[in-house]
């Protein structure tokens, strides 16, 4: 019944609209508008151009300065972010100036030079000087913007400092995994064929590499404040993107093509909570490349610690090998001894389990 009423209402509205249309058309014919080259509507359009210009600019300024409840700028928390934001706002100043000026001219001229009976337009086909000027000015301004952008870009994408904390970020449908190099500060090799979700080897650590034995996984991405962090980025299945708005950080995670990004976090999570006044604030790592059904919920938490807290946390972590003794099966014989030491397996109650799972695997 309700649907029927809606349909009837729509039909009525359309019928009314059509009638109004027919009436105005006929009135127009009666008034002889169709014979005139330019009707009174021309003035109305010209006036609307100005109305649009004024209302539009008012809306733009009102919304940009204070009309908005939420602050739309994510607080910066990285060193390079300060630089990129500075140039973002310089570019914003330049472009807004050009934008406002040209829109005023566009709609202002439209209004001012509207058709008037007896007026003649100015025959003005070209002015070489003018054209050279307005080719040169944008060229120079753009050159300045590009060169400054390029300098920042080179710094950001340049080699990471020696003392960087190296962490592997690994994207897969629909989560991120983080691998830390462990005590030896060296990430071990990987091989996608070694991925073993049952034994929790999510990132395909290759245990035939000695450096891999003490690697540990983080549920969250912990990074130290004030130290360069070098993210080594990989993906398992499709392209993902490692994006964090506060750090102004983004790099795609590509299957088969390791990528990287390094940055220096400048505010701990706690400091950020104080700054934003939000006790629940967390740095969120966002997937920003369409990756499938649950793309919109693919995230991870980043925790920025004071360096000493970070060290403490780092040293408390258990190697993946220790947590998942089943993985011992992947360790070649000649490295088993080393593995027991570097993954700290000797004080592990589940040593028994190692043997068990080994025999299980061999029976498979």
Residues 50-109 that bind other proteins (CB under 8 A): 52, 56, 60, 63-64, 68-70, 72-74, 81, 83-84, 87-88, 91-92, 94-96, 98-99, 102-103, 105-107, 109
Among 184, 192, 206, 329, binds other proteins (CB under 8 A): 192
Q: Which of residues 325-364 bind other proteins (CB under 8 A)?
A: none
* Nearest alpha carbon to residue 215 among 257, 258, 181: 181
Complete DSSP assignment for 10-49: HHHHHHHHHHHHHHHHHHHHHHTGGGSSS-THHHHHHHHH
Could you tell me the smallest distance in angstroms from the CB atom of residue 341 to other proteins?
30
Identify the helix (H) or strand (E) that includes residue 237: none
Distance of CA 33 to the CA centre of its chain: 55
Q: For other proteins, give the closer residue by CB, 24 or 356.
A: 24
Among 284, 311, 337, 360, binds other proteins (CB under 8 A): 284
Which listed range, 114-122, 212-220, 340-348, 355-363, lies at the site for other proteins (CB under 8 A)? 114-122
* Nearest alpha carbon to residue 84 among 159, 164, 161, 156: 156
* Contact (Cβ atoms closer than 8 angstroms) between residue 209 and residue 188: yes
Could you tell me the smallest distance in angstroms from the CB atom of residue 228 to other proteins?
16
Among 200, 282, 350, 351, binds other proteins (CB under 8 A): 282
The C-alpha atoms of residue 77 and residue 75 are separated, in whole angstroms, by 7
Among 164, 175, 206, 255, binds other proteins (CB under 8 A): 255
Size of the site for other proteins (CB under 8 A): 118
Answer yes or no whether residue 219 interacts with other proteins by CB under 8 A: no
Q: For other proteins, give the closer residue by CB, 24 or 361.
A: 24
Answer yes or no whether residue 42 interacts with other proteins by CB under 8 A: yes
CA torsion through residues 27, 32, 37, 39, sign: negative
Could you tell me the smallest distance in angstroms from the CB atom of residue 263 to other proteins?
10
Torsion angle, alpha carbons of 263, 264, 270, 273, to 10 = -60
Q: For other proteins, give the closer residue by CB, 119 or 363.
A: 119
Quick check: bond before 174 cis, omega within 30? yes
Could you tell me the smallest distance in angstroms from the CB atom of residue 95 to other proteins?
4
Among 210, 225, 230, 289, binds other proteins (CB under 8 A): 289
* Nearest alpha carbon to residue 259 among 280, 234, 283: 234
Answer yes or no whether residue 291 interacts with other proteins by CB under 8 A: yes
Q: What angle do CA 304, 307, 308 make, to 5 degrees?
A: 125
Could you tell me the smallest distance in angstroms from the CB atom of residue 356 to other proteins?
23
Q: Which of residues 115-174 bind other proteins (CB under 8 A)?
A: 115-116, 119-127, 130-131, 134-135, 138-139, 142-143, 145-146, 149-150, 152-154, 156-158, 173
Answer yes or no whether residue 19 interacts with other proteins by CB under 8 A: no
Which tokens sit at 330? 């992947």
The C-alpha atoms of residue 198 and residue 63 are separated, in whole angstroms, by 52
Question: What strands lie across the sheet with 229-235, from one edge to the other?
Answer: 216-218, 175-180, 165-172, 229-235, 259-263
Which listed range, 160-168, 289-297, 312-320, 329-337, lies at the site for other proteins (CB under 8 A)? 289-297
Residue 64 DSSP code:
I
Which tokens sit at 35? 């014979």
User: Which x/- pattern, by CB under 8 A, does the window 196-215 give for other proteins?
Assistant: -x------x-----------
């Amino acid at each position: 019944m309700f649907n029927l009423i809606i349909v009837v209402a729509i039909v009525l509205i359309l019928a009314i609209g059509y009638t109004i249309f027919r009436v105005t058309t006929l009135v127009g014919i009666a008034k002889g508008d169709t014979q005139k080259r330019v009707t009174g509507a021309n003035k109305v359009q010209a006036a609307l151009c100005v109305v649009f210009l004024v209302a539009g600019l008012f809306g733009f300024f009102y919304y940009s300065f204070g009309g908005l409840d939420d602050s739309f700028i994510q607080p910066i928390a990285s060193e390079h972010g300060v630089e990129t934001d500075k140039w973002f706002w310089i570019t914003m100043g330049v472009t807004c100036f050009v934008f406002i000026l040209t829109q005023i001219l566009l709609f202002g001229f439209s209004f001012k030079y509207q058709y008037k009976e007896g007026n003649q337009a100015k025959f003005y086909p070209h002015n070489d000087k003018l054209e050279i000027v307005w080719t040169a000015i944008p060229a120079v301004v753009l050159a300045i913007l590009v060169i400054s952008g390029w300098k920042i870009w080179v710094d950001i994408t340049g080699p990471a400092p020696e003392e960087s904390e190296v962490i592997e970020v690994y994207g897969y449908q629909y989560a991120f995994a983080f691998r830390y190099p462990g005590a030896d500060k060296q990430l071990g090799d990987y091989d996608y064929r070694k991925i073993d979700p049952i034994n929790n080897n999510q990132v395909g650590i290759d245990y035939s590499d000695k450096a891999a034995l003490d690697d540990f996984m983080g549920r969250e991405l912990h990074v130290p404040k004030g130290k360069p962090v070098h993210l080594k980025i990989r993906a398992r299945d499709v392209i993902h993107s490692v994006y964090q708005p506060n750090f102004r950080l983004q790099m795609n995670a590509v299957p088969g093509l390791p990528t990287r990004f390094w940055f220096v976090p400048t505010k701990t999570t706690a400091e950020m909570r104080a700054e934003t006044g939000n006790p629940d604030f967390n740095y969120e790592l966002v997937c920003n490349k369409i990756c499938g059904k649950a793309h919109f919920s693919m995230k991870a938490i980043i925790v920025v610690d004071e360096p000493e807290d970070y060290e403490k946390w780092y040293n408390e972590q258990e190697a993946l090998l220790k947590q998942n003794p089943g993985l011992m099966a992947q360790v070649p014989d000649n490295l088993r001894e080393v593995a027991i030491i570097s993954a700290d397996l000797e004080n592990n109650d589940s040593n028994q389990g190692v043997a068990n799972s080994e025999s299980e695997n061999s029976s498979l």
